[in-house]
Structure 1
Amino acid sequence: MSSSHLQVHKAALSNDWDSVSQIFEKDPELMTKPINYIGETPLMIAVGTNASHDFVRQLVSRVVDIGGAIDQLFVADSNGDNPLHRAAKIGNTIDAKVLVEQNPDMTQVTDRNGHTPLTLAAWHRNKDTLRYLLKVATESIPGAGEAGSSVYTGAAGGDLITLTIQAGFLDMALEIIGRHPDIIVEENWASKTALEILGSKPEFYRSGSSLGLWNHVIYSLIPLNKRSLEDAQVNIFTEVYNKFTMGFWKVCRYLAPPIKNIYDAKVIHFQSMLLTKRICATILEKADHDTVWKILGSATSAAVEYGVPEVLNKCILTYPDIIWYTDKPGRHLPLEAITQRQEQVYNVLWQSAAHKIFQATMIDEEQNENALHKAAKLAPPHRLNVVTGAALQMQRELQWFKEVENYIEPSFKEARNKSGKTPKETFIEEHKDLLDDAEQWMKDVATSCTVVAALIITMAFAGAFTLPGGNEDDGKPLFLNKGAFMLFIVSDAVALFSSTASVLMFLGILTARFAADDFLYNLPKRMTIGLVSMFVSLAATMIAFSATLSLVLIDKVTWIVAPLVVITCIPVGLFGWLQFPLLIELVNSTYGPSIFRQQKDRWVF
C-alpha cells in the first residue's frame, strides 16, 4: 500500500475529507480505485464505517462533477460486494440513499452469492435500510427482458420474503405480499416458501410463547388497534394502542420494559396469524392444485416438526385434503407429530375426522412401524427437555405411549417392526438409559430430602419436651396461658407430623421397584406428597422457633415480633423459590389437565 493509499484509507475511516481532497484533485482515478488488500475503494471503506457520511457525500459529488462514470462508484471488492451491498449489510441507510440517487437500478444487482441489497438488509436485520430499499427498488431493470428481472420474482423474491419473515419484520412482509402477492409461491435458495418459514417459527405464535401467570394477565389486558395492524402500511406499529387506553399503556411501556416486551410479543402473534391467513387465502386464488399442494404441504410438515398448531390448523381449514400430505414415504402428519412429540399439533390433528383412521391403521411402510412404535421411540432431545428432570421426562414419554395406545388398533399393540420388536419392547429398549437416569434422579432427591426431614423430626420431637420458659412445680408449662405458647405447641406438632409423613414418602420412593410404569403416577405422587409435607414442616419449624423467641424476649424487647416475622419468611421464601417450580411441575404433570386436550365438539372437517 502506497503512502497516498494509506492516507486515503485513514481519511475514509475517520470521515476526514479535507485531508485528502487535494490528493483526489491530482489523481481523480484514486477515488474509484481499490486501495487495500481486499480490493476496497475509498467509497467502500467509508460506507463500511457507517459514520463517514460527509466523506461519502463529498466523494460521490466530486466523481459526478468531474463527469466520471457512475458505474465506477459501484466497483465490487474481492468478495463481490459493491458499496450498496455493504450499506445494506451494516444498516447504513444514509449512504444507501446517496448511492441509490445515482443509480436506482443498483438495488437489483446481486453479489457473488446471488443476494440483492434488499435481501442482504433483511438477512442482517437492518429494518430501516430494508424499508428504504423497498421504497426505491425498481420493479425491473430497463432492457433486462421480462423474466427474472425483478427483485420480487424467482429466487431473489423467495429470498426477500423468507429472510424478511425470518428477521421478524412481519409488518414489512405483509406490505411486500400486499403489493406483490405472487411472491408467496417463490422459493428461496433452500427451496422454501414464506409459509414454510412461518411453519418453522413457533416463537411467532401464541402457542410458542411461555407466559407466567402475571405476564398472561398483562398479555390479555394490553389492547391492539387491529384495524391499524391489518392495514399493513410501512408505519404499521405506530397506531396499535387502543385510543381509550393509549396514555396509560404508553406510560407502562416506558416505565416497565417487561410490559413493552409483552406488548411486542402480542403484536408479533397477531401479525403472524394475519400473515398466515393472507398467504393461505392468496394461494387459493392464484395457484393451481399442484402448487397449493406443494406449498401448503411443506408448510404443514414444517408446522408438525416445529410445533406450530396455528399454521397447521389454518392450512387444513384452507385445504382439508392436505391432511393426507407426505413429504417422504411413511412420514404422515399424525405419525410425524407423535415422532416429534408435538402435542399441540397432535391435538389439532385429533380434531380431524380422519384421526382415528390415521392413528389406528396407518403404518410407516419403510420401517414397518405403526403409531405405537413411533410413540415407543425416545423423544428428540429438544422435546425431551421441555420438562425438568429425568423422572418427569420419563413420565411424559409414558403419557405419550398411553395416549396412542388408547386409539391404536388392538392387533397393532403386539405388531412387530422391521427389527422384530413390539411397541412395548421398543419402548423398554429405547428408554433404558432414561429409566436409569430417572431412577437415579428420584433417589438423589429423595435421599437429600430425607436427611432434611429427619433433622426437622429431631428438632420438633425435642422441642415438645423442652418447652420455652420451663415448667411450674406441678408440671404445667410456665407460659401455658400465653397465646404465643399455643402457637409454638401447634406449629411444633405440625412440624413433627408433616416431617414424619415426608420421611415416609421419601422412604417409599427409595424402596420402590422403579419399573417404567411407576413413573406415570405412583412415584410422582409420592414425590409430590413428600415435598409438600417437607415444606409444611419447614414453615412450621420456623414459626415454632419465632414463637419461642417471642415468649422469651417479649418483656424485654417489645418490638421483637415484627423482625421475627420477617426473618421467618426468609428461609421459607427461599425454599419456595427453589423448590416450588419443581413442585408445581410435578403437580401439574401428575394431577393437572392432560397435555392431550382434544376438543371433541370442534372438528377440522
Structure 2
Amino acid sequence: MNASTGNQHHQINIVNASHSQPSQLPPSNLPRRDLLDGGEDFNAICVPLYKAITTNNFEAAKLILDKRPELVQFSITESGETIIHAAVLGKSCLFVKYLMSLMTKEGLKLLNGNGETTLCLVARTGNVEIAKTLVEKNEGLIDIPNSQGKMPLQVAALYGRHNMVEYLYKSSQQMIGQSWTHQNRSLVFENCVEANLFDVALRIVSDLPELAINGSVLRLLAQKTHAFLPIERNPFQEANHIGKNLNSFDLYYILWIHDIRRGPPKLKSFFGFLVYSVILLHKDKEREALLLLRIILKEIMKLPKAEIDDLIRGPPEDDTKQKYPSRLLFLAVEMGNTAFIVEFIRQYPHLALELNDDNHSIFHVAVMHRHVGIYNLLLEKDHIRDLIITLEDKNGNNILHLVGECAKGNRLPNISGLGMLKDLELRWFKRVESILPGYLYKQKNAIGLTPYELFVKNHKDIFFEEEKLMNGTASQLMVVAALVATISFATIFTFPGGYSQEDTGIPIFLPKTISKIFIIFDGLSFLLSATSILMVIAFIMLDHRGHNVMISSSLQIRSSIVLVYYSIASIIITYLISLFILYQSHSQWVPILITIFAFMSYMVFAIAIFVVDQLPFKSLSF
C-alpha cells in the first residue's frame, strides 16, 4: 500500500486482502483475524486504519471503510480489537454513528481480546452519548457480560461513572431481564455503594428491596465515615432544623457533627460561595447515605434473629481471631463512623453492651482511636455508663488506661503545630477521667501501672520531641520579640517631624490628634513585644520532664506568638501613621498606597494561617 499525507487528507491506496487460502472462521462472538495473519494486509490496512482512528483522522478512516465496509468484522490489532472497539474509546459520537451504518446487530456483539463488548468499553469511559448510539442499534448489548461475567452496568459502577450507571440501569429495565441473576444485581448494588453512587443505590434498593439484605454493603457503609458527615451548622440551628422532638441522644450527635466539621472561618466572598456550593453537594451525599442505611436496617429487622446476628457479625477476617458477635459495629467504631453507630444503636440498643475478644466495648475502642463523637454517646447512656467504665480488659486495663495508650491507627500522627498533639492527648485524658469514680484513677493493670503512669510512659518520648521543637521556636521568638521591642522603643524618640527648638523640646506635631494615636500604637507595640519576651522566659523556666509531663506548656509559646503578631501589627500601624503625619499637607496618595500594600500583606498571612494550618488541629478538636 502506498500512502501519502497531504495538508488535510490522508489518502491511501487500498490493496485487497489476500484470499489465496481460505481462512477458518472464528467463533461467532469473536472477530475474524485474517488481516493479522498476513504481513502485507496488516501493514497495508490495519496499521493506517488504527492510526487514523486513534489520531481522530476520521476522514482517512472513512476513506478506507467506504471502499472496504466488511473490515468492521475484522480484528485490526493483536489484542483482538475491531474498528468499533477502537472508535468507542474516543470521543467522536459522529464517527461511531457512521460505523453503525456499516455494522449489523450481531457485529456489535463481537468481543475483543479481553472478552469485552463495545458497550463494556464505553461503560468504562462513561460516554453516555456513544452508549445510547450502541444501544439504539442493539439493545441486547446491555445483557452481554464480559469475560469476567460483569455486565456493562456493573463495569460502569466499578469505575464510578454516575451518568452511565443511571442510563444503563434505566435501559436494563431495573435489572429484571432473564440474563440478570440475584448475584449480578447484588454486585451492581455493592459497586454503587463502593463508588459513593448513593442516589442510584437508593433507587436500586427501592425497586429491589431484597437486595438490601447484604452484609457486604453494610461493611462498606461502616467504613465510609465521610459519606455520613453533614455540612457545618451551629448546633442550635441544627437542633432547630430537626424539630422540637429532639432528645439528648440526638443533641450529642449534633454536637459531635459541629465539633468534627468545625473548620476555619467562612470567607464572606465569592470564594466562600464556591465553598458553600461544594458543601451543599456533599450534604446531598450525606442524606442519601444515611437514608440508604436506614432502609437497609428496616429490611434487616424483618429477618429472624439468627440471620440478623450473622449480618451484624459480618464475614470473619480469618479463622482464628475475632469471634465476637458484632464485628461490623466495631469496624464502624474504628473508622469513627458515628452516624452508623447511632443508627444501629437506635435499632438495636443492646449492641452498646457488646464486647470484643479483648473485652472492649465500642466505647473502649472509640477511646483508643480518639473518636469523640462515639465517646459522647456514652455520656448519654446513663443506664449503661456505670457498667462500661468499670470494665477491665484481658490486661487489667480500665477505660482510662486505654487513653494512656498511644492513639490507634493514623488518628494523631498527622497533627502538626506547636504542642497541639500534647494538648489534645492531655485534654482527652482529662475528659475521660472526669466521668470515672475516684478509685479507678489509681487502679493498676496487669503490669502494675496506673492510668497516669501508663500515660506518662507511652507519651513521654512523643511529648519530648514536641518540647524540643517548642524550645527551638522559643529561641527564635525571643529574637523577633526583642527586635520589635527595640524598634518600637527607638521610634518614640524619633518623632516624625522633629522636635521644637524652643525651651519646651516637645514634638512639633504633638498637638495634633493623629500624633497622639502614633504614641499609643507605638507604646502598645513595645508592651506587647515585652510581654511576649516574658512569656517565653516563663516557658524556659518550666520543668518539661518527669511529673510535669501532664502540664501543657504550649500555651506560653502560642500566647507569645499571638502577642508578637499584634506587636508587629501595631508597629506597622505606627509606621503608617508617621507617613500620614509627614505627608498631611501634600502627596497624600503615598501613605494611602502604602497602607493598601500593608493590608494586602496581612491578608496573605491570614489566608495562609487560617485556611491551611488550622485544618489538621480543628478537625480533631476535643
The TM-score, its normalising length taken from structure 2, stands at 0.75
Whether 1:118 aligns to 2:135 is no
- For residue 45 of structure 1, the aligned residue among 86, 92, 97 is 86
Q: Please give the per-residue CA displacement for 1:81-107, whole angstroms capped at 9, x wherever unaligned.
A: 232221111113334334445665554
The aligned amino acid for 1:91 is: G
Q: How far is the alpha carbon of 1:118 from its aligned partner?
A: 1.5
Note if contact 2:72-2:82 (Cα within 8 Å) is conserved in structure 1: yes
The aligned amino acid for 2:85 is: M
Q: In 2 relative to 1, CA 411–582 (structure 1 residues): closer, same or farther, beyond 3 Å?
A: farther
- For residue 93 of structure 1, the aligned residue among 112, 128, 141 is 128
Q: In 2 relative to 1, CA 503–254 (structure 1 residues): closer, same or farther, beyond 3 Å?
A: closer
Residue ranges of structure 2 left out of the alignment (5+ in a row): 1-35, 37-41, 242-268, 313-325
Whether 1:131 aligns to 2:161 is no
- For residue 104 of structure 2, the aligned residue among 60, 63, 76 is 63
| Partner of residue 356, structure 1 | 385
Percent identity (aligned)? 23
Q: Secondary structure at the match of 1:63?
A: coil
| Partner of residue 196, structure 2 | 168
User: Is the deviation greater in 83-92 or in 274-283?
Assistant: 274-283
Note if contact 2:460-2:549 (Cα within 8 Å) is conserved in structure 1: no
Whether 1:277 aligns to 2:294 is yes
| Partner of residue 204, structure 1 | 227
Q: Please give the per-residue CA displacement for 1:141-196, whole angstroms capped at 9, x wherever unaligned.
A: 54x7xxxx42xx23x33432232123332221211111011112235xxxx21x33
Q: How far is the alpha carbon of 1:540 from its aligned partner?
A: 2.0
Distance between the aligned counterparts of 2:396 and 2:141, measured in 1?
55
User: Is the deviation greater in 43-52 or in 438-447?
Assistant: 43-52
Correspondences of 1:453-472 after superposition (within 5 Å): 453-468=481-496, 469-471=498-500, 472=502
| Partner of residue 19, structure 1 | 63
Distance between the aligned counterparts of 2:555 and 2:274, measured in 1?
39
Distance between the aligned counterparts of 2:549 and 2:151, measured in 1?
55
Q: In 2 relative to 1, CA 520–532 (structure 1 residues): closer, same or farther, beyond 3 Å?
A: farther
Note if contact 2:456-2:549 (Cα within 8 Å) is conserved in structure 1: no
Q: How far is the alpha carbon of 1:313 from its aligned partner?
A: 0.9
User: Is the deviation greater in 30-39 or in 563-572?
Assistant: 563-572
Distance between the aligned counterparts of 1:507 and 1:90, measured in 2?
63
- For residue 36 of structure 1, the aligned residue among 73, 77, 93 is 77
Note if contact 1:12-1:45 (Cα within 8 Å) is conserved in structure 2: yes
Distance between the aligned counterparts of 2:270 and 2:530, measured in 1?
50
Q: In 2 relative to 1, CA 298–482 (structure 1 residues): closer, same or farther, beyond 3 Å?
A: same
User: Is the deviation greater in 178-187 or in 577-586?
Assistant: 577-586
| Partner of residue 81, structure 1 | 116
User: Is the deviation greater in 403-412 or in 525-534?
Assistant: 403-412
Q: How far is the alpha carbon of 1:127 from its aligned partner?
A: 1.6
| Partner of residue 399, structure 2 | 371
Note if contact 1:496-1:537 (Cα within 8 Å) is conserved in structure 2: yes
Q: Secondary structure at the match of 1:407?
A: coil
Q: How far is the alpha carbon of 1:451 from its aligned partner?
A: 1.2
Q: Please give the per-residue CA displacement for 1:373-429, whole angstroms capped at 9, x wherever unaligned.
A: 321122246321564325111111122222223334655545555666543343233
Distance between the aligned counterparts of 1:63 and 1:547, measured in 2?
83
User: Is the deviation greater in 481-490 or in 11-20?
Assistant: 11-20
Q: Please give the per-residue CA displacement for 1:485-519, whole angstroms capped at 9, x wherever unaligned.
A: 21122122211211111110012123322248757
The TM-score, its normalising length taken from structure 1, stands at 0.77
The aligned amino acid for 1:265 is: H
Q: Which has the larger radius of gyration?
A: 2
Whether 1:523 aligns to 2:564 is no
Q: Please give the per-residue CA displacement for 1:446-501, whole angstroms capped at 9, x wherever unaligned.
A: 22221111011112222333333124423333333121221122122211211111
Residue ranges of structure 1 left out of the alignment (5+ in a row): 65-69, 225-251, 597-605
Whether 1:433 aligns to 2:461 is yes
| Partner of residue 26, structure 2 | none
| Partner of residue 603, structure 1 | none
User: Is the deviation greater in 321-330 or in 41-50?
Assistant: 321-330
Q: In 2 relative to 1, CA 110–364 (structure 1 residues): closer, same or farther, beyond 3 Å?
A: farther
Whose helix fraction is larger, Structure 1's or Structure 2's? Answer: 1
The aligned amino acid for 2:123 is: A
RMSD: 3.7
The aligned amino acid for 1:4 is: I
Distance between the aligned counterparts of 1:347 and 1:355, measured in 2?
13
Correspondences of 1:566-605 after superposition (within 5 Å): 566-570=596-600, 572-573=602-603, 576-578=606-608
Distance between the aligned counterparts of 2:227 and 2:466, measured in 1?
33
| Partner of residue 352, structure 2 | 323
Q: Secondary structure at the match of 1:465?
A: coil
Q: In 2 relative to 1, CA 543–96 (structure 1 residues): closer, same or farther, beyond 3 Å?
A: closer
Whether 1:500 aligns to 2:556 is no
Q: How far is the alpha carbon of 1:7 from its aligned partner?
A: 4.4
Note if contact 2:414-2:616 (Cα within 8 Å) is conserved in structure 1: no
- For residue 489 of structure 1, the aligned residue among 499, 511, 519 is 519
- For residue 280 of structure 2, the aligned residue among 263, 267, 272 is 263
